[in-house]
Amino acid sequence: MEEVQALVRRALAEDVGSGDVTTAATVDEDARARALITQKAAGVLYGLAPAAAAFALLDEQAVTEPLAEEGVWREQAGPVMAVHGRARALLTAERTALNFLAHLSGVATMAARAVRAVEGTGTKVLDTRKTTPGLRALEKAAVRAGGADNHRAGLYDAILIKENHIAAAGGVARAIARARAHAPELAATLEVEVRDAEEIEQALAAGASRLLLDNMDEQRLRAAVAQVAGRAQLEASGGVTLQTLRACAQTGIEWVSMGALTHSAPALDVSMTLELCS
């Protein structure tokens, strides 16, 4: 929660700067109000915590009331959260609260759509490190809220050898050997990016247990599945969209990773209305 508050505090500082001139000019200092946040499109909500934090950081006496559950697909528009507090604080925090809620709900909604697309195939949808700087933990939590799975959190918790690592190390086998020697505690889940049948064989010969099939179309994915024949687990990545996702999943791979879950998720439409309290 401290990390969320720090993020929201920075977002407020960016927006408010030296002060909310419009609100100060138009709203009485002692006015109190009730704000209602509403979801206006179908999707999955996530981000109530940072939204509530935005109001609380400007009015520590503000009372927030969740009116909807996170991580659940809602087909119809409806209320999300009510907030009671100082009118000036509610108005000044409005945009920051809605920015977090709309973006994170958009990520959760995209994840939910992706999970629906692969339903029945046995394939799991993963996110990537293509996240908004500073928001990775929240975006990955939103992915989980939408029902998809997280890939590695960062560069520190898993080994993923990509083409530039292979080039720098002097080949697939040498890259794998060096990675295992450097971080043996992560060797069991070591993954190697491969681009063709030759690299697949090199990685398998070196003992890789997980292969990342880079930018392969459906035909090449099926060929890779047949070539590997269960000797390693397979992940497809690169250019996957909601439209192509199911075809990828039906090739027999274990995972499909989608950077679009975080870097291209449209914001969910949410809005806030305010009523002064008598």
Task: For residue range 99-122, list pLDDT tens digits in order.
Answer: 999 999 999 999 999 999 999 999
In percent, how much of the chain has pLDDT > 70? 100
What is the structure's pLDDT at 141?
98
Instruction: Provide the domain limits for residue 143.
Output: 119-263
What is the structure's pLDDT at 17?
97
Which domain CATH number covers 243?
3.20.20.70
Q: Are both 129 and 106 inside the same structural domain?
A: no
Q: Which residue has the tokens 């060797």?
A: 187
Q: Are both 178 and 253 inside the same structural domain?
A: yes
For 156-163, what is the mean pLDDT? Answer: 96
Q: Say if CB 45 and CB 70 are below 8 A apart.
A: yes
Average of per-residue pLDDT values in the chain: 96
Q: Are both 74 and 180 inside the same structural domain?
A: no
Q: Are both 223 and 269 inside the same structural domain?
A: no
The whole model's pTM is what?
0.96
Q: Which amino acid is at 124?
A: K
What is the structure's pLDDT at 120?
96
What is the structure's pLDDT at 77?
85
Q: Are both 131 and 242 inside the same structural domain?
A: yes
pLDDT at position 278 over 80: no
pLDDT in tens, 34-53: 999 999 999 999 999 999 99
Q: Are both 152 and 54 inside the same structural domain?
A: no
For 16-29, what is the mean pLDDT? Answer: 97
DSSP string, 25-81: HHS-TT-EEEEEEEE-SSEE---HHHHHHHHHHH-TT-EEEE-S-TTSEE-S-EEEE
What's the CA gap between 137 and 153, in Å, rounded? 8
Q: Are both 123 and 66 inside the same structural domain?
A: no
Q: Are both 134 and 150 inside the same structural domain?
A: yes
In percent, how much of the chain has pLDDT > 90? 97
pLDDT in tens, 47-80: 999 999 999 999 999 999 999 999 999 998 899 9
pLDDT in tens, 212-262: 999 999 999 999 999 999 999 999 999 899 999 999 999 999 999 999 999
pLDDT at position 2 over 90: no
Name the residues annotated as catalytic: 95, 130, 162, 193, 214
Q: Are both 128 and 246 inside the same structural domain?
A: yes
pLDDT at position 159 over 90: yes
Q: Are both 218 and 269 inside the same structural domain?
A: no
The total number of structural domains that make up the chain: 2
* HSE-up (13 A, CA, CB side) for residue 101: 28
216: helix, coil or strand? coil
Which domain CATH number covers 101?
3.90.1170.20
Q: Are both 24 and 155 inside the same structural domain?
A: no
Q: Are both 179 and 235 inside the same structural domain?
A: yes
